Amino acid sequence: MIKQVKSVRYLLAVIFIIALLFAFLRSPLVGRLLYPYLYREVIEKYAADYGVDPLLVAAVIRVESKFKPNAVSRRGALGLMQLMPATASWIAPQLGIADLTEEMILTPEINIRLGTWYLANLAAEFNNNRELVLAAYNAGRGKVASWLAEGVWTGSYEDVENIPFPETRNYVSKVRAAYNRYQALY
């Protein structure tokens, strides 16, 4: 009988510790550590300038680079928003930025400005459909347009599994999840 009482107490203690740990992990303090909002002033400035949700920009940055300004992908994408140099070079003159260098692309303010403008540009092309914008940001606007034209994907999150590229499928899901967390936390 004493052994059973000790076992029940032990089980209750374990359940209590698990509940406390779960509550701690779900707390806004821990959430903000896991989902930081670094460069907030810069993000909000360019998000306002280009009509983009700043929390979406933060979610893209978190997924793309985890807020590491000098991030370079194995494919050569640069900076916080992981812009390909060719894409950044296409955007720069439209924003009045002359002689863009890779060093400039790695500068947080320039990178956020370019990437946020690009999100706005994709949003204009894809009727503000967030899933299409994210897929195009990852795979390219031409790929997404062809998937839509061929009926491969409708552009809805409900059939995100139809995106032919696993990387893009995962990317859209990850950014969407991060965006939902940013909305809850900020």
pLDDT per residue over 123-133, tens digit each? 999 999 999 99
- Do 14 and 79 have their domain in common? no
- Do 86 and 137 have their domain in common? yes
The CATH number of whichever domain residue 46 belongs to comes to: 1.10.530.10
- Do 113 and 163 have their domain in common? yes
pLDDT at 23 over 70: no
pLDDT at 5 over 90: no
- Do 54 and 113 have their domain in common? yes
- Do 96 and 57 have their domain in common? yes
Provide the whole-model pTM: 0.86
What average pLDDT does the chain have? 92
Between the alpha carbon of residue 173 and those of residues 84, 147, 166, the distances in Å are 21, 17, 11
- Our answer to whether residue 64 is catalytic in this structure is yes
pLDDT digits 0-9 by tens, 92-108: 999 999 999 999 999 99
Q: How many domains does the chain have?
A: 2
Query: What is the helix (H) or strand (E) element at residue 166, kind and residue range?
Result: helix 166-185
Place of tokens 């696993």: 166
pLDDT at 14 over 60: yes
Between the alpha carbon of residue 103 and those of residues 62, 76, 82, 121, the distances in Å are 21, 13, 13, 23
- Do 19 and 109 have their domain in common? no
- Do 3 and 63 have their domain in common? no
Per-residue pLDDT band at 28 (split at 50, 70, 90): confident
Average pLDDT rounded to a whole number, residues 43-72? 98
- Write down the catalytic residue from 64, 102, 125, 131: 64
- Do 18 and 51 have their domain in common? no
> Residue 5 belongs to what domain range?
1-34
- Do 132 and 113 have their domain in common? yes
pLDDT at 185 over 60: yes
Do residues 134 and 171 make contact, with C-beta atoms less than 8 angstroms apart? Answer: yes
- Do 86 and 145 have their domain in common? yes
- Do 46 and 109 have their domain in common? yes
Nearest Cα neighbor of 81 from 58, 101, 98 is 58
